[in-house]
Amino acid sequence: MGSPGELGPAATRGPRLGDLTGSLLRQGRALAADYALLAVLDARSAAMRFAWLVSGGLVAAVLVATAWLAIVAAGIVWLLGSGASWVAALGLAAALNLGGAAAVYFWMRGLMTELPFSATLRQLRGEIPAARGNDDGS
């Protein structure tokens, strides 16, 4: 036997392939778990932000609708003060609202000239898109 400071043949060899593979698998699993946790936390944060955005949009819509109703009511009061009849004032307010609704309807209908994801479907099918204007609504 050698001196007490010498290592035997088993001790001088490095780690075994099985040990390295096991360690690699454990670290890979831990890394995947960390990425999955990060993705879950990001998704939760995105969902909360989306909920706040939708809530803010709803509050803004209610405030805009309230302001519109106040403007229409002020117009009706002004018309009544100018000598118009109740029927004429309310009829004008209703016509104004219906005209605005029709304008929004035709604007929305113009947005739906093409089905959603049609560009993706054309790309997957290998079709060449037809020449058309800008997609910004103009």
The answer on pLDDT for 53 being more than 80 is yes
Tell me what pLDDT residue 112 has.
80
pLDDT tens figures, 62-95 = 999 999 999 999 999 999 999 999 999 999 999 9
Tell me what pLDDT residue 37 has.
92
d(CA 120, CA 107): 24
The answer on pLDDT for 12 being more than 70 is no
The number of C-alpha atoms within 13 Å of 69 and in the hemisphere containing its C-beta is 6
pLDDT tens figures, 113-130 = 777 777 788 878 888 877
Q: Which two tokens stand for residue 93?
A: 């307010």
Tell me what pLDDT residue 11 has.
56
Q: Minimal CA–CA distance to 49: which of 37, 57, 59?
A: 57
